[in-house]
């Protein structure tokens, strides 16, 4: 008896040792008598399902990983033939279901990670060229005229036929001076009637809207810079080149004009590069006054792109004509603003590209040019090339960069809170800070500092991961886009998409 007991104990220990050395999947298929048998082909199929689930589970969540295990498949493999067939069918169905799930999840993740508005550096390079060649292109000057020729030349390279619209205006000093607008036109594909609003009706409603116009513009001149001599009578040399105001805005409109040659808009587009914009928006006034009543009536909206490069955030504003008093607003005149913010959310520009469009969300009362008082929200008191259109009752969207987390109307004009601009009280336009080398170097340093802060630190060696990898650059670092091309391209992208957003109850017919 003692000999038999010792033999059984030895057998159990031997079996246990074998189990410990045997993969868990094989042990789960063992018989009650602890002898190991080879898994069947069916069992291998199910095991493969489990491995697939575990392999892909990390990308779509671990819930699927537990599904088959909870179903009690393991340990129940000794089935009659008809149940084995059902299990084969179930396995095949489950694999297909998993693959579809993982493909959908992977596709959605890929879509969100794909960068859009990838227009390269052409727009930013044009802004740099404009600033470098004509740094003092102030209103009514020779450099401004030469800058208009550079703009026209670039538009010709896209296949446009630019019109140079010369005009004379009374300058700030009271004298009459000459300037010029650069204009190109692009026919759109139109919009079809597709009623969605609750008030929509088919009675006497045109089936198409093929003659609506969207004006997209930016001034290409730069503000004058006033320098005061110091106590010793020394005046520092003028170095500002207007890369911010308004070479960046010009570059965004130029990029949109280039892209729309291929990606046709719904609206008929008029691109206008305004001269003398910094002198009471003289170019915008002249352009609007040059239109007939019929041509004005066709304008559905106007988009004005101001300096978008150096301000803390990119903002979009509706016009003052959308303020009706108190908490009320004219939704029709803010429709284009809301469409623009919809585009931002629809394409997840912040997630994909690190680009955001903000709207002014202040809460105090402010007055418009016409004397109406309303909550200072979604509009601005800043005046620019959109102002003549705003005064004419045309819906406008004004894009600029700045900071509107403010508590009073006196703070409007603040552009950047970086301590570097403390000497100008946060204003960049019309100061010595509006210089390509100054701004690009600053934002490059800020981006590099931000990137370093995201690297893990080994507190034992006080070395960053970047140092430990012998200076290798990770994929995120390689894909990081400098601020100027990032803002130029994404602003252009939003404008291109906006040109396909029609009036209420109409859809793009492309």
Q: Average pLDDT of 48-55? A: 46
pLDDT digits (tens, 9 = 90+) for 420-460: 999 999 999 999 999 999 999 999 998 888 777 654 433 33
pTM for the complete prediction? 0.77
Q: What is the pLDDT of residue 202?
A: 60
Distance CA 437, CA 313 (A): 20
The rounded distance, in Å, linking the Cα atoms of 276 and 282 is 5
Q: What is the mean pLDDT of residues 367-374?
A: 95
Report pLDDT for 327.
Answer: 85
Instruction: Tell me the Ramachandran region of residue 296: left when phi exceeds 0, alpha when psi lies from -120 to 50, beta otherwise.
Output: alpha
- pLDDT at residue number 299: 98
- Residue 174 — pLDDT band, cuts 50, 70, 90? confident
- Helices then strands, each counted (H, E), the chain: 17, 17
| Rounded distance between C-alpha atoms, residue 301 and residue 316, angstroms | 14
Beta carbons within 10 angstroms of residue 261's beta carbon = 11
CATH of domain 123-196+207-227+235-360+377-403+432-454+483-508: 3.40.630.10
**Window from 14-28, 142-156, 258-272 with minimum mean pLDDT:** 14-28
Question: Looking at residues 99-122, what average pLDDT do you find?
Answer: 69
- pLDDT (0 to 100) of residue 206: 84
pLDDT at 51 over 90: no
| Percent above pLDDT 90 for the chain | 65
Domain boundaries, the chain: 2-113, 123-196+207-227+235-360+377-403+432-454+483-508
Using a pLDDT cut of 70, give the percent of the chain over it.
Answer: 71
pLDDT band at 171 (very low <50, low <70, confident <90, very high): confident
Strands 208-209 and 313-318: unpaired
Is the predicted pLDDT of residue 496 greater than 60, yes or no?
A: yes
User: What pLDDT is attached to residue 480?
Assistant: 81
Q: What pLDDT band is residue 197 in, cutting at 50, 70 and 90?
A: confident
pLDDT at 100 over 60: yes
Q: How many Cα atoms within 13 Å fall on the side-chain side of residue 498?
A: 32
Element (H, E) at 496: helix 483-498
Position 82 confidence tier, pLDDT thresholds 50, 70, 90: low
What's the pLDDT score for residue 67?
A: 43
Give residue 408's pLDDT.
95
pLDDT of residue 90: 61
* Other beta carbons within 10 Å of 270: 20
pLDDT in tens, 209-262: 999 999 999 999 999 999 989 888 899 999 999 999 999 999 999 999 999 999
Among 1-5, 27-31, 195-199, 389-393, the range of highest mean pLDDT: 389-393
Q: Is the separation of the CB atoms in 214 and 303 below 8 Å?
A: yes
3-class DSSP state of 507: strand
- Quick: pLDDT tens for 199-224: 766 666 788 999 999 999 999 999 99
Q: Which of 67-76, 149-158, 239-248, 376-385 is predicted least confidently?
A: 67-76
The residues, ordered by sequence, that sit 6+ positions from 10 with a Cβ below 8 Å of its Cβ are none
Task: Please give the sequence-ordered ranges of beta strands (E in DSSP) within 85-175, or none if there are none.
Answer: 163-170
Label residue 59 by pLDDT band (50, 70, 90): very low
485 vs 108: which has the higher pLDDT: 485
Answer with the residue of higher pLDDT: 324 or 62. Answer: 324
pLDDT at residue 492 tops 90: yes
Average pLDDT of the segment spanning 396-419: 96
User: Over 60: is that where the pLDDT of 478 sits?
Assistant: no
Query: What pLDDT band is residue 17 in, cutting at 50, 70 and 90?
Result: very low
Does 106 score more than 90 pLDDT? no
């Amino acid at each position: 008896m003692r000999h038999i007991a010792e033999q059984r104990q030895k057998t159990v220990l031997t079996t246990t040792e074998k189990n410990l050395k045997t993969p868990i999947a094989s042990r789960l298929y063992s018989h009650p008598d602890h002898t190991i048998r080879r898994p069947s082909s069916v069992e291998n199929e199910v095991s493969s399902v489990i491995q697939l689930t575990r392999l892909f589970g990390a990308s779509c969540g671990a819930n699927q990983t537990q599904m088959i295990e909870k179903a009690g498949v393991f340990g129940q493999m000794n089935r009659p033939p008809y149940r084995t067939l059902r299990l084969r069918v179930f396995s095949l169905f489950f694999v297909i279901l998993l693959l579809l799930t993982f493909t959908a999840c992977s596709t959605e993740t890929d879509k969100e990670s794909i960068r859009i508005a990838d227009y390269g550096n052409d727009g930013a390079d044009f802004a740099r060229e404009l600033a470098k060649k004509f740094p003092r292109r102030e209103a009514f000057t020779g450099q401004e005229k030469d800058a208009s020729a550079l703009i026209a030349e670039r538009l010709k390279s896209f296949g446009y036929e630019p019109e140079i619209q010369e005009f004379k205006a009374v300058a700030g000093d009271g004298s009459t001076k000459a300037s010029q607008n650069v204009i190109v036109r692009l026919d759109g594909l139109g919009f079809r009637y597709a009623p969605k609003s609750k008030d929509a009706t088919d009675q006497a409603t045109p089936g198409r809207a093929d003659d609506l116009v969207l004006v997209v513009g930016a001034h290409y001149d730069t503000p004058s810079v006033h320098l005061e001599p110091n106590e010793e009578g020394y005046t520092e040399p003028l170095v500002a080149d207007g890369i911010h105001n308004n070479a960046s805005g010009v570059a965004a409109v130029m990029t949109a004009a280039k892209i729309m040659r291929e990606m046709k808009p719904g609206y008929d587009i008029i691109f206008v590069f305004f001269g003398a914009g910094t002198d009471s928006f003289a170019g915008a006034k002249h352009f609007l006054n040059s239109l007939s009543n019929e041509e004005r009536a066709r304008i559905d909206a106007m988009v004005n792109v101001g300096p978008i490069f150096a301000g803390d955030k990119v903002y979009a504003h509706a016009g003052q004509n959308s303020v009706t008093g108190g908490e009320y607003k004219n939704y029709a005149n803010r429709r284009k603003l809301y469409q623009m913010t919809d585009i931002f959310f629809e394409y997840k520009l912040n997630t994909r590209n690190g680009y955001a469009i903000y709207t002014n969300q202040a809460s105090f009362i402010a007055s418009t040019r016409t004397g109406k008082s309303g909550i200072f929200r979604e509009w601005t008191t800043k005046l620019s090339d959109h102002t003549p259109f705003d005064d004419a009752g045309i819906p406008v969207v004004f894009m600029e960069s700045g900071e509107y987390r403010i508590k009073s109307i006196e703070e409007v004009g603040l552009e950047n809170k970086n301590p570097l601009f403390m000497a100008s009280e946060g204003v960049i336009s019309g100061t010595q800070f509006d210089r390509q080398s100054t701004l690009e170097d600053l934002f490059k340093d800020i981006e590099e500092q931000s990137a370093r802060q995201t690297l893990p630190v080994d507190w034992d060696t006080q070395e960053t991961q970047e140092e430990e990898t012998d200076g290798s650059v990770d994929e995120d670092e390689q894909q990081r886009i400098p601020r100027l091309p990032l803002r130029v391209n994404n602003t252009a992208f939003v404008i291109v998409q906006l040109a396909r957003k029609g009036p209420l109850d109409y859809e793009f017919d492309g």
